[in-house]
Amino acid sequence: MSLINPVILCGGSGTRLWPLSRKSYPKQFVPLVDSETLFQASVSRLSGAQRAFSFARPTILTNSDFRFIVTEQLSSVGVDPAAILIEPEGRNTAPAILAAALHLAESDAEAIMLVAPSDHVVPNVEAFHAAIAQGLEAVYDGKIVTFGIKPTHAETAYGYLELTAAPNGSGAAVDLKKFVEKPDVTRATEMLAAGNFMWNAGIFLFKAKDIVEAFNTYAASLVGPVSQAVKTAEVDLGFLRLTPELWAQADDISIDYAVMEKADNLAVVPFIGGWSDLGGWDAVWRDAGPDCNGVVTSGDATAIDCQDSLIRSDSERVEVVGIGLKNVMAIAMNDAVLVADMSRAQDVKQAVSALKGKGAQQATHFPKEHRPWGWFESLVIGGRFQVKRILVHPGAALSLQSHVHRSEHWIVVEGTARVTVGEKVQMVTENQSVYVPLGVVHRMENPGKVPMVLIEVQTGAYVGEDDIIRYEDLYARGQSARG
């Protein structure tokens, strides 16, 4: 039985699903269409033993800001990764995939890799596994395999794969003729009718040695800095941090441009089992299954006499009501609301650019910020104060720290906290409070078996997240705000 090493890419942050997907917490970590997040669904899909192969423990590539989100979400689905590689900065998919290949090749150059983004939806997992089995035959022949999705409509948001012949229905791999950039509507309609064009899913299957050889042949300038970044990587709390100075020397380029469009040994496995990259709210609307009026509601949302619309509330405090809407998407968060014509789904990124231009924090950050110990949510921010709700996971602890510009009041509302203020350590239970004077070293911990929730009131001349001096930290974050 073949052993396949999943390599899951989850360091990116798209903007087309704003306001739900933002730089600080992108769509792969959000339960968009199910109770699981897209990342968790991807990991689950690439786990376990199948008829023709079994999956090894996954290798994850992400960035420093997301590393504890990754471990928390892996733990919640019971998956222990083989490695989590930390990219010092985003350099696109080519350096990331090469780093994973070099890391795996250190122990087994013949290792078979299945590279997949973490933000795709694949409803028919059994059909996807069958497609992987078909691809293995080509991989053993030295091919680099990519998976082509049978188009269901003339989509202009995807790149396409032109096959040398139309798939014959057997599922067997077909040689690739060329990659096709995102087309206009006319060209997309022509390709849909032709029958030998498929959507480019960005999912690949190959041996580690074959993809490394392809990089040496077609993108040799990447090999030096990436290989050195891997060789000199440092282990940090179970993560493997690629060396920043060397990583920065790698070109920012996709795997398609660097290798795939130049290689002559590519094969395409057709996949007809359903797929979406949820690249816009129109895709979320389609995948959610509109009702007889073409309407999808989610969360605290109500539709009255609406047609072909998506109405969604992702806030426990916001009720969204649509009346007489047609071809409209309305998505509400605690701090931002998007209302647009459904045909403009691909233009949502323009809203993010506009918000960045005016300095709006909503462009990139949520009110709820995730940390390795739990999360906090800003409830109210004033000129000289801020009120937060803080949740600390069982057994977790914030760093031993102090602040230069603010004092804090803590009121426990759920669970029990162990609180250090200066030399004093005490247990604080529900309805009890603690005052932390400005400049005093302090820490809060959750010694219990259930989440601990408290309300924090900060007062002072400055209440920004970078007003923090760390003395001890379980998560080795240094002095950075997110680490």
pLDDT tens profile 5-50:
999 999 887 789 999 999 888 999 988 888 899 999 999 999 998 8
Per DSSP, the residues of 47-94 read: -SB-SSEEE---EEEEEGGGHHHHHHHHHHTT---SEEEEESS---HH
What is the bridge-based pairing of β-strands 385-392 and 337-341? unpaired
- In the DSSP assignment, the letter for residue 373 is T
Report the half-sphere exposure of 277 (CA within 13 A, side-chain side). Answer: 18
368-472 homologous superfamily: Jelly Rolls (2.60.120.10)
Quick one: pLDDT at residue 277? 87
Report d(CA 391, CA 474) in Å as an integer: 17
Both tokens of residue 356?
A: 């960045």
Both tokens of residue 481?
A: 């705000």
Q: What is the pLDDT of residues 266-310, one digit of tens each?
A: 999 999 888 988 889 999 999 889 999 999 999 999 999 999 999
Kindly report whether the global pTM for this prediction surpasses the value 0.85.
Answer: yes
Q: What residue type is assigned to position 374 of the chain? A: G
Report d(CA 261, CA 186) in Å as an integer: 23
Torsion region of 418: left, alpha or beta (phi above 0 gives left; psi -120 to 50 gives alpha): beta
- C-beta contacts of 261-265 below 8 A and 24+ residues apart: 261/178, 261/179, 262/218, 263/144, 263/214, 263/217, 263/218, 265/142, 265/143, 265/144, 265/210
CB 441 within 8 A of CB 400: yes
CB 8 within 8 A of CB 119: no
Q: How far is CA 66 from the centre of its chain?
A: 8
Quick one: pLDDT at residue 32? 86
What is the bridge-based pairing of β-strands 374-381 and 406-414? unpaired
Q: Which residues pair with 25 in a beta bridge?
A: 22
Annotated domain spans of the chain: 2-271, 293-358, 368-472
Report d(CA 64, CA 66) in Å as an integer: 5
Both tokens of residue 394?
A: 């069982």
Per DSSP, the residues of 160-188 read: EEEESS---SS---EEEEEEEPPP-HHHH
Q: What is the pLDDT of residues 40-95, one digit of tens each?
A: 999 999 999 888 899 999 999 999 889 989 999 999 999 999 999 999 999 999 99
- In the DSSP assignment, the letter for residue 326 is B
The percentage of the chain sitting over the pLDDT mark of 90, rounded to a whole number, equals 81
Quick one: pLDDT at residue 483? 38
∠ CA 256-126-57, nearest 5°, is 65
Q: What residue type is assigned to position 281 of the chain? A: W
Q: Please, is 29 exposed, middle or buried when counting C-beta atoms within 10 Å of its C-beta (0-12, 13-18, 19+)?
A: buried
Q: Which residues of the chain have pLDDT under 70?
A: 478-483
Both tokens of residue 218?
A: 């077609």
Q: How far is CA 127 from the centre of its chain?
A: 24
Q: How far is CA 297 from the centre of its chain?
A: 24
Per DSSP, the residues of 113-141 read: EEEEESS-B-S-HHHHHHHHHHHHHHHHT
Instruction: Could you please state the CATH topology (level 3) that the domain comprising 2-271 is classified under.
Output: Spore Coat Polysaccharide Biosynthesis Protein SpsA; Chain A (3.90.550)
Both tokens of residue 123?
A: 């409803």
CB atoms within 10 A of CB 20: 20
Quick one: pLDDT at residue 50? 86
SS3 for 307? strand
SS3 for 456? strand
CB atoms within 10 A of CB 268: 25
Residue 70's nearest CA partner among 82, 84, 56 is: 84
Quick one: pLDDT at residue 479? 59
